[in-house]
Structure 1
């Protein structure tokens, strides 16, 4: 999977997770709001809501009794109410906190008369009929309203005249004891008569909506309100009884604010916290690896090629097993590219240092090899020029011979140096022709054996068992054999030997020539520098054959003839140099 797809997958997953968490938070808040609203409704209007929940959660036991939700029964007790369960014949089969003045049996039509207030009943009744386990039963709930009782008593033995309300002393005492007050409103809702009305917290004018809300939702106003309409005088009697914990009636314009406010704050705080945590997670998951890669690139710019490490000295992007850490896996391609860049830059830096070292060695070597014979030539020239010496003709010829030898050496050295540049730049392309490689190598090896500088019986030739023909340039091939023979025999102990063998290839025109010696071998650094120009210096006593220039010329000539050269050497175990013509040569 590409980095683009991985990033898209991670981001989509992150957003989906955030949306899911927000939905869960919203659901939890909604559940809490509904639960609180249900509690409020149970308190404010238990008669309408509570009995429905009571009958929905009720369970009829085998003995005929009913088991209710304990929390709902607690609400019944707090409201001063009572319960009765009636069968189809009107008999009470179960009861809870039923007062003594409530009947235990209801005749046909009697319960309806009580419920519709067509027949006097000391309590406010609410009933609900439901089917449970195949049986219909009626749940009857009743509660006595203190405000209703006081208002009923006040209406029986009171009157108002000349704008004043006249009450009996017993009624006044009952109203004062309950900390209640009574008001008489005209047809416009204006208060024109009252008793025990507080100076603060009461109104003098009421709209229809005010009266309905006060009667329907007493908890919002902190008091229970009962009303009675006088049809004869078109007046409204209203009696209010404050709750025990409330000294004045306070109208709450937003009665559910204590629920929705905290719920909204909790939801907003949860979302903000989620977004902050999401941002921190994003910074750690995606930003931290990017900062690590940026720091790595800055280190590369400063010439430090190692990956930044953590507290334990290990690369931060890797775990204990050497693999990418989880949060770095999404940037695996980028990290691999930076890692490759670091390796390449480090290798190039090492190569640059080695090249500078070789260049210094090369300059020192070529300066030495040019200056030494030049000094000899200058010395002999000064000797011949000096008037105080009378040289014989034999001495003059001897001096001239030495000067000629030195100058020829310098000429070969300069020519070889020029040849290395031409070969490296591809400016020299020797003409090749098909040649019997076995015969050519046999003649060249025999010529090398006659060189007194190599010693006797140190070169062995092993021809191929089958004829081998290749496209080679014979003069260049001669130079190659001379250079490799000199390199193997002059730079190894006197008892070492060299074996030159020819090996046919898989196809016509493909072959290889191996130069294997049993000498002291070379270390890896020497192998790496073997074909560098002027890796080894020479002096006036030796030719350039087998020198650093000779090996550089050898490599260039082989590549010019579409071949390649390989070196295998181990210190103390000898060296094998292979000249290969197989169509896979690499030109440097």
Structure 2
């Protein structure tokens, strides 16, 4: 997988994980909010919300008793309520905290009369019928409404006339005992008169919605409210009894749920994003910083990867494998390792090249000075009046001077050729040629050279015609150079085998120059194609310039071929000229 796909996969995975975590946090927050809202609903309106949950979560035990949810029973206790379960005949089969003044059996009409408030009942009654386990159950929930009970008790004794409310002593005692107060409102909800009303915290005007909410949700305000409408005077009576120490108006009960939930959710998302940013920086940023530091070291000439305290590269484990956070950059790290290795090799090769260049300069200087010294010496000899040279001696001196000048000319020409080949300035025009025929003619010409000796060259053509794109003059020079090296720099008894090997496709072929001479060491093989490696001494031979193999390598590469050398001391040498494909 490419680094692009790896990074895309990691980024998409990270984004997906982030979205999943945010969804999980949102789900947890939603679940918590729903739980809290359910709790508020149970407190606000247990009749409509709690009874249904109570009967749905109830379990019928083997002894026909019913087990309720303990949390819901706690709310029943807080509301000072009670429970009864009736069978189809109205008999109580199970109860919970039922007061003594509540019947244990109901006639059908009697239960309906209590439920519809057609018959006096000391408690506010709610009824729920459900089928559970194949049986119909009627759940009665009773809750004493203190305000309603007090209002029913004292209403007949209260007198209201012309905006004035008269309360008798007995009723005053009952009202003050419960810290209750009465308000009489006109048709617009404005207070006309009141009794025992607190000095602060109680409004003097109510809308219809205000009255409904106070009656419907007493826990929100901490006050139980009961109303009675006086049709004769068109007034509304409100009797309020505090059920909590404070009578001040409470805020929205859902605010303490939604605000913390929203704050916690936002803070959780921020913390999550910060942690993900830190993780991302460590996961992706740390390897990038490591690679930047590595590049800076390469710029400074230090080619080793930065290591940790234990001396191990920071991107690797002890077993040499990539650490997890570096795996996504594996291709880049491989490339940087290869670059470091190449730069290290280039540095070593540069040092070796510098050494060879110094040797080469010393050698070329020596070989140019030697023939120049000879030319100067013979020129001085001919110039001097001290001796009278014969015609034969003058011709001998002239021949030597011509040989030395020709050697210098070859040396300069080969040197120029090596620079042209290395700079790409020499582009020979190749043509499709029969390699077997061309090489056979060149080998025959070499066999006629008396300097090589007799019967030292063996030619082995390919079994089938071989055609390749070669530049014939360059090819002739290559063959001459390789033949001369094999025969002149080996013992007289050494032989040379020249073979043509065909390739699998048109234009693919190999030529082998294999001799059984003294061979070369690995260092000599490595330096073989360096310019002026041989350092020819003009005192031994003027046949070569010392640049022959460098020129040979350049000419082969200019014809889109390559050269390989296989040699060992005392085992001979094999030089292969390889053309991999036909570029038609």
TM over 0.5: yes
What are the superposed Cα offsets for residues 230-280 of structure 1, whole Å, 9 maximum, x if unpaired?
A: 22222222222223432x32242x331001101111111222222223333
| Alpha-carbon offset, residue 474 of structure 1 | 7.3
Distance 1:215 1:509 in 2: 107
Q: How many residues align?
A: 563
What are the superposed Cα offsets for residues 382-412 of structure 1, whole Å, 9 maximum, x if unpaired?
A: 577677xx44648x98799568636622431
The equivalent position to 1:421 in structure 2, one of 410, 416, 420, is: 416
Distance 1:90 1:66 in 2: 17
What are the superposed Cα offsets for residues 353-372 of structure 1, whole Å, 9 maximum, x if unpaired?
A: 44444333322221121123
Give the 5 Å matches for 1:183-262.
183-246=183-246, 248-252=247-251, 254-262=252-260
Q: Alpha carbons of 1:427 and 1:372: their partners in 2 closer, same or farther (altered >3 Å)? A: farther
| Alpha-carbon offset, residue 149 of structure 1 | 2.4
Q: Alpha carbons of 1:385 and 1:555: their partners in 2 closer, same or farther (altered >3 Å)? A: same
SS, match of residue 540 in structure 2:
coil
Q: Alpha carbons of 1:407 and 1:172: their partners in 2 closer, same or farther (altered >3 Å)? A: farther
What residue is the counterpart of 2:372 in the other structure? 374
The equivalent position to 2:484 in structure 1, one of 482, 485, 494, is: 482
Give the 5 Å matches for 1:383-422.
390-391=386-387, 393=389, 405=400, 408-422=403-417
What residue is the counterpart of 1:493 in the other structure? none
What residue is the counterpart of 1:79 in the other structure? 79
Give the 5 Å matches for 1:143-222.
143-161=143-161, 163-222=163-222
Residues 438 and 467, structure 1, Cα contact 8 Å, conserved in 2 = no
Distance 1:207 1:408 in 2: 131
Which range moved further: 230-239 or 281-290? 281-290
Which range moved further: 152-161 or 56-65? 152-161
What residue is the counterpart of 2:516 in the other structure? 516
Q: Alpha carbons of 1:43 and 1:279: their partners in 2 closer, same or farther (altered >3 Å)? A: same
What are the superposed Cα offsets for residues 423-460 of structure 1, whole Å, 9 maximum, x if unpaired?
A: 7354789999463677666555x74359xxxxxxxx96
Residues 456 and 495, structure 2, Cα contact 8 Å, conserved in 1 = yes
What residue is the counterpart of 1:41 in the other structure? 41
What residue is the counterpart of 1:117 in the other structure? 117
The equivalent position to 1:435 in structure 2, one of 403, 417, 440, is: 440
Distance 1:73 1:562 in 2: 96
What residue is the counterpart of 2:99 in the other structure? 99
Residues 480 and 557, structure 1, Cα contact 8 Å, conserved in 2 = no
Residues 373 and 407, structure 1, Cα contact 8 Å, conserved in 2 = no
Which range moved further: 289-298 or 151-160? 289-298
| Alpha-carbon offset, residue 567 of structure 1 | 2.2
What residue is the counterpart of 1:21 in the other structure? 21
Distance 2:231 2:485 in 1: 138
SS, match of residue 108 in structure 2:
coil
Residues 370 and 538, structure 2, Cα contact 8 Å, conserved in 1 = yes
Distance 2:477 2:189 in 1: 133
The equivalent position to 1:531 in structure 2, one of 526, 529, 537, is: 529
What residue is the counterpart of 1:456 in the other structure? none
Give the 5 Å matches for 1:563-578.
565-570=563-568, 572-578=569-575
Q: Alpha carbons of 1:176 and 1:99: their partners in 2 closer, same or farther (altered >3 Å)? A: same
Residues 127 and 138, structure 1, Cα contact 8 Å, conserved in 2 = yes
Distance 1:469 1:88 in 2: 113
Which range moved further: 156-165 or 256-265? 156-165
What are the superposed Cα offsets for residues 60-82 of structure 1, whole Å, 9 maximum, x if unpaired?
A: 22322211111111211121111
| Alpha-carbon offset, residue 305 of structure 1 | 4.5
| Alpha-carbon offset, residue 166 of structure 1 | 2.5
SS, match of residue 138 in structure 1:
strand
SS, match of residue 548 in structure 1:
coil
Q: Alpha carbons of 1:554 and 1:230: their partners in 2 closer, same or farther (altered >3 Å)? A: closer
SS, match of residue 543 in structure 1:
coil
SS, match of residue 63 in structure 2:
coil
Distance 2:510 2:24 in 1: 76
Residues 514 and 572, structure 2, Cα contact 8 Å, conserved in 1 = no
Distance 2:497 2:306 in 1: 52
SS, match of residue 567 in structure 2:
strand
Distance 2:465 2:108 in 1: 131
Which range moved further: 230-239 or 396-405? 396-405
Residues 29 and 267, structure 1, Cα contact 8 Å, conserved in 2 = yes
| Alpha-carbon offset, residue 107 of structure 1 | 1.7
Distance 1:69 1:297 in 2: 69
SS, match of residue 417 in structure 2:
helix
Distance 1:159 1:192 in 2: 14
Distance 1:106 1:475 in 2: 129
Which range moved further: 62-71 or 291-300? 291-300
Residues 113 and 119, structure 1, Cα contact 8 Å, conserved in 2 = yes
SS, match of residue 498 in structure 1:
coil
Q: Alpha carbons of 1:91 and 1:475: their partners in 2 closer, same or farther (altered >3 Å)? A: closer
What are the superposed Cα offsets for residues 68-125 of structure 1, whole Å, 9 maximum, x if unpaired?
A: 1111112111211111111111111111111111111112300111111111111111
Q: Alpha carbons of 1:511 and 1:70: their partners in 2 closer, same or farther (altered >3 Å)? A: closer
Q: Alpha carbons of 1:477 and 1:536: their partners in 2 closer, same or farther (altered >3 Å)? A: closer
Distance 1:545 1:551 in 2: 14
SS, match of residue 488 in structure 1:
coil
1:448 maps to 2:452: yes
SS, match of residue 122 in structure 2:
coil
| Alpha-carbon offset, residue 304 of structure 1 | 4.5
What's the TM-score, normalizing by structure 1?
0.82
| Alpha-carbon offset, residue 480 of structure 1 | 4.0
SS, match of residue 373 in structure 2:
helix
Residues 533 and 552, structure 1, Cα contact 8 Å, conserved in 2 = yes
What are the superposed Cα offsets for residues 261-312 of structure 1, whole Å, 9 maximum, x if unpaired?
A: 0111111122222222333333334444444444444555555544444454
Distance 1:562 1:166 in 2: 125
Distance 1:193 1:553 in 2: 125
